[in-house]
Amino acid sequence: MAGEQLALTVLMGVLLVGVAAFLTRIEDWRSYASPAGGGTVGESGYGHREKPGGVLRWLTTVDHKDIGLLYGAFALIALAVGGLAVVVMRLELTTPASNIVSPQFYNALLTSHGITMLFLFGTPILAAFGNYFIPLLIGADDMAFPRINAIAFWLLPPGALLIWAGFLIPGIAPSQASWTLYAPLSVEQAHFGTDLMLLGLHLTGVSATMGAINFIVTIFTERGDDVSWANLDIFSWTMLTQSGIIIFAFPLLGSALIMLLLDRNLGTMFFAVEGGNPILWQHLFWFFGHPEVYILVLPPMGLISYIIPRFSGRKLFGFKFVVYSTLAIGVLSFGVWAHHMFATGIDPRLRASFMAVSLAIAIPSAVKTFNWITTMWNGRIRLNTPMLFSIGFVANFIIGGVTGVFLAAIPVNLILTDTYYVVGHFHYVIMGAIAFAVFAGIYYWFPIFTGRMYQRTLGKWHFWLSMVGTNVTFFAMILLGYVEMPRRYATYDAITVGPLDVITLLHQAATVGALILLVGQLVFVWNVLQSWLDGPKVTDGDPWDLKDDGLFTREFAWHEDRLTAADGGEPQNDGVRADGGTPETSSD
Ligand code: HEM
Ligand SMILES: [Cu+2]
């Protein structure tokens, strides 16, 4: 162990010296600023039309659309990794005793699943949509800082390798500290995988922060002349708010991670039981952690608010209120973190105020829900795949939100905390809502980023398998919480709180649900790959018939342009549209 730590220290030292050497070599900083950086729309000097071919193109690209696709591919691979980890866990839980993997390995899978899904799938997949579509939606020719954009993406693969190092490198024990990394466990468990994971997490945090700065600057400074704050589309609004939250939340996580690394390796005592304070970790972690859940949910809410009107044949009901509630959530999300700590023995007066703010934050979420429902009310609903996933989002989000409100009530929380009820709650939101919105977005924009159409029947199969799988799995977990099955256990044969036969049955139901989900995602993978390579080419500039309802938008106008461009390549009048836009586009 000491040898490994020494090796790590030397490695980090070499890295620092290398960075310093590199920096001193740079004489002209300005030559490192991108030609488009800070410029105005349309003056971009570098050539999208001169991309190199093959792998080199993907390694060197600074085009926002390419980077969006890179983010998307990366995030979907992470989704597969995290998903397979959880299938093993669910199979392990079909019987009360240990049957497939050791409890230690189960804990490692649990840790990796949580971290992978939140940091390697959740945040990156939203950056994928943001990168590809925000410049198109706001009439910019690229992100404000294209090269920083590329750097932000390329920090992720090394981050992922560090996070997964415990599984990939023989001899390095994977972390078992769980995604919340609670001290003193996370300080005292010696697994070297934890140190590498902390470094990897740090990289993903730097990446997210760079991305957020880029989104904020892009939306503030690169909007086309006819895109004002009043007609900025709802997806960009949610990405803007999300980026604002990231700027305050992720650097804090970074600091906390470094403190934990110091505690683990250099003998500091920030979180030590004697001389430090393990509860300090929880405060720091959740001051990041609760905003993080809104970092993950706001852009999906934006996607849903964007898609539902298109297939209801009308504009989003109460557009302004959806924007205001987004901003309200952004602010309030920093005032509720201690609802994750009700059982830690913090001052009861503090507890009560955190309960109050937590109940209050449900209000803007409910406002949005009513807006979505009212948008659909008496609308001309078209039940295609993106719309099905959007409606599924609303249904699942209601269950996820209401269980959250229950958990925010202190008396209920003290009974249900650390049970499967909590796991059910947040999976209804994260899988049932966030992942559903991601799927809705992928299907909705599939014609744009692939130029082809997906197989509609398979899309519907994907939806129904996901909807049934999600509800079987996570409703069973809510019931498991009521019979007081504690979370994070690899075995439950020694459980004394609830009736073992009921617990076993519910666990088996959850496993069946997870397998249904797995089949659904296999259908998705097949559909995407097959359609991308071989699907029917989209020749219609308006594949969703949005013009009929006056709901045609900029990104499809761009797509239409591209189709009509003589050589089928980049649109010839790119700059013209970016400056002038088209009169018939609507923005909500
Ligand atoms: C509608 C407003 C919401 C309220 C009032 C709420 C409330 C709560 C409360 C009180 C807990 C702590 C339960 C415990 O550990 O005892 C919790 C846990 C959690 N919530 Fe929510 N929640 C809400 C929405 C969301 C959303 C939108 C997400 C995801 C995007 C989310 C993700 C989570 C996660 C990940 C945890 C578990 C963290 C952990 O201990 O591992 N919640 N929620
Ligand atoms: Cu929270």
Closest among 543, 553, 548 to 446, alpha carbons compared? 543
The Cβ of residue 467 has, within 10 Å, a number of other Cβ atoms equal to: 21
Assign 378 to helix, strand or coil: coil
Q: Which helix (H) or strand (E) holds 22?
A: helix 2-25
pLDDT of residue 585: 42
CA of 40 to the centre of ligand 2 (A): 40
> Which ligand lies nearest to the CA atom of residue 111 in the structure?
1
pLDDT of residue 26: 57
- State pLDDT tens for residues 64-75: 999 999 999 999
Mean pLDDT score, 244-270? 96
Tokens of 59: 């390694």
> Which ligand lies nearest to the CA atom of residue 420 in the structure?
1
Residue nearest to atom 29 of ligand 1 (CA): 293
pLDDT of residue 3: 75
Q: Break the chain down into helix, strand, coil percent, rounded to 5.
A: 70, 0, 30
186 alpha carbon, distance to own chain's centre: 24
Which residues crowd ion ligand 2, with CB under 5 Å?
A: 290
The domains located in the chain, with CATH, are 61-289 (1.20.210.10), 542-588 (no CATH)
pLDDT of residue 18: 85
Residue nearest to atom 35 of ligand 1 (CA): 426
pLDDT band, very low/low/confident/very high, at 132 (cuts 50, 70, 90): very high
* Whether residue 32 has pLDDT greater than 60: no
pLDDT of residue 41: 39
> Which ligand lies nearest to the CA atom of residue 291 in the structure?
2
CB 138, CB 180: distance < 8 Å: no
CA of 134 to the centre of ligand 1 (A): 29
DSSP bridge partners of 537: 452
Q: What is the per-residue DSSP string for 162-212?
A: HHHHHHHSTT-PPP-STTTT-TTHHHH---HHHHHHHHHHHHHHHHHHHHH
If one residue of 422, 427, 430 were mutated to test the ligand 1 pocket, choosing by the most ligand atoms within 8 A of its CB, it would be 422
Place of tokens 């905003």: 291
pLDDT of residue 49: 56
Tokens of 250: 């992720």
Mean pLDDT score, 104-110? 97
CB 520, CB 460: distance < 8 Å: no
Closest among 235, 430, 397 to 316, alpha carbons compared? 235
> For ligand 1, what atom is nearest to the CA of residue 407?
10
pLDDT of residue 478: 98
pLDDT of residue 47: 46
pLDDT of residue 576: 35
Report the b/e string of 310-329 with b at 16+ CB within 10 A: bbbbbbbbbbebbbebbbbb
Q: What is the per-residue DSSP string for 298-359?
A: HHHHHHHHHHHHHTTTSPPTTHHHHHHHHHHHHHHGGG-GGGG-GGGT--HHHHHHHHHHHH
Mean pLDDT score, 129-148? 97
